[in-house]
Structure 1
Amino acid sequence: MIHIVNAENRRQFFHALKQMHLQRKKVFIDQMGWRLEHIAGVEIDCYDAEDVVYLLEADNPRAPVTGSARLLPTDRPHLLGEVFACLCDEAAPSGPTVWEATRFCPAPDMPKGAARHALLNRIIGAIIETGLLFGIERVTFVASETLAPLAEQAGWSVRPLGPPKKIGRERLRAYVAEIDSEGLKRVRARLGSSGPLTRFTPGQTVQAA
């Protein structure tokens, strides 16, 4: 199950979020060699703000996290607009109904290949479900040369925002995807799933004394 975590229920996922940041450090910095800020063994940046929505795959809030991703609004500073704008032929799509998906992160010990590809498809399905829930109409993202074909073929409607370019060690390409029910049906069909991929656990209500 992929849990939708936002400002409302974040306190209930404290341990899972800490695990996610630890995994991001191990995957992006230790394994992939990205030059990212880190402190006390966790990777966290200026975009990990209060209005971010995290997608965490885990059996329950205290179970091991097997994968994660981050969704953030584009009507405030975001990666594609500030760091990867060179990947777009025109201005990066932005606005209250356009969100950005970043930091797709499998668990560090997840085998490469089929297992990670399946996780990516589940996360894409979760992105669409979350988008439909929060009134998101489009999602932008940047994909490496390895992940780009998988994202293109997942079943949702997606188009590139510019040609691929080499940035650092990798060739990257920016995309925008439509968030709609038809795309969700196709993604679920490819996964062999007929039901929801996500779960939203409401925040605990604090009663007055």
Structure 2
Amino acid sequence: MQTIAIPADTRAQFPDLIDGMHRLRASVFKERLEWDVKVVDGREVDDFDQLPATYILLLRGSSKVSGCARLLPASGATMLTRAFPQLLSAGKLEAHAAMIESSRFCVDTTIEEGRGEGSLHEATLTMLAAIIEWSMTHGYNEIVTATDVRFERILKRAGWPMRRLGEPTRIGNTIAVAGSLQADRASLERVRPAGAGSTFNLLHNAA
């Protein structure tokens, strides 16, 4: 497995990977989790994909997308501020230049590669480590997200506990919660897969 970061200005160079990401999102969010998301032709796409996001993708081989996340500067339009402000205790996000939002995180945990004796799949840990590393490399020290309480527990098990930004709220068929995560060296060391080398060897920028 390897991870790749695709900035907005290089997105057109990787149409197959971007398509694979949207198909994975449809499979995970619509089919497995049964979230209320729009799927067209087997692909989940929303309005925030039109913004200058960076995508972090987990690949098997060179082309099979097995994990993804979308990163957007918190100083601009984000899911927390536009779609889920009810998750924020103050009704708004106190954004700053070193804050980024992570959204649409998902991993295909049915893959056998990386399924060891640990409590979390290596694919999940690799994606978390890649998000932290990318954020640190690009000057971000805080990551905010809207997720559900199930994934909040996964983050805690990974050694990357989330600080809640509001009270859990039912949205559709899930209990959603907003939170903040540190992007620093200590978090990276706790999260990255056991026995893995430097996370910088895992993340390859497409730019």
Asked whether the two chains share a fold, i.e. TM above 0.5, the reply is yes
- Provide the residue aligned with 2:97 in structure 1: 96
Instruction: Find the partner of 1:154 among 158, 174, 177.
Output: 158
* Pair 1:198 & 2:203 matched: yes
Structure 1, unaligned stretches of length 5 or more?
203-209
- Deviation of 1:10 (Å): 2.2
Matches of 1:70 and 1:146 in 2, distance apart? 19
Structure 2, unaligned stretches of length 5 or more?
none
Q: CA RMSD in A?
A: 2.5
- Deviation of 1:120 (Å): 2.4
Contact 1:25 1:42 in 2 (8 A): yes
- Provide the residue aligned with 1:132 in structure 2: 136
Tell me the number of residue pairs that the alignment of Structure 1 and Structure 2 aligns. Answer: 200
Instruction: Find the partner of 1:177 among 157, 178, 181.
Output: 181
Q: Percent identity?
A: 27
TM-aligned CA distance change 1:177 to 1:33, over 3 Å: same
- Deviation of 1:151 (Å): 0.9
Matches of 2:119 and 2:26 in 1, distance apart? 20
- Deviation of 1:47 (Å): 0.4
- Deviation of 1:156 (Å): 3.6
Alpha-carbon deviations, 1:122-175, whole Å to 9, x = none? Answer: 211111100011111211012222211111232346311122222211112211
TM-score relative to the length of structure 2: 0.84
Name the amino acid aligned to 1:153.
R
TM-score relative to the length of structure 1: 0.84
Matches of 2:152 and 2:17 in 1, distance apart? 27
- Provide the residue aligned with 1:42 in structure 2: 43
Greater C-alpha Rg: 1
